[in-house]
Amino acid sequence: MIGHAIVYAGIVFSKSLVLTTSLMFFLGIFTAVRASVGFIYMTELVPKAQQTAVGTILLIIISVQGVLVTVYFYYVN
């Protein structure tokens, strides 16, 4: 999570295309690990009756994060 946050902050504040592209590569690695481990851990902690709803909400939040970064770069940068 710390690595993911550092790379994410680097992308937001980067002014270099090469740096941004390199950081996006590392962001993909950290995101895959964070999403898979986080999803499995979350479903283990939630009661069986709510696992589907909580899993869906978690994946929606992860997806919205990528969309927000794209919108930020399109309109702000």
Domain count, the chain: 1
> Which structural domain, as residue segments, surrounds residue 67?
2-75
- The one-digit pLDDT tens for each residue of the chain (77 residues) are 788 889 989 999 999 999 999 999 999 898 888 778 878 888 889 999 999 998 888 889 888 988 999 999 899 87
Q: Which pLDDT does position 66 carry in this prediction?
A: 85
Query: What's CA 13's distance to the chain center, in Å?
Result: 17
What sign for the dihedral angle of Cα 32, 33, 38, 43? positive
Residue 27 CB burial class (10 angstroms; 0-12, 13-18, ≥19) = buried
pTM, entire model: 0.52
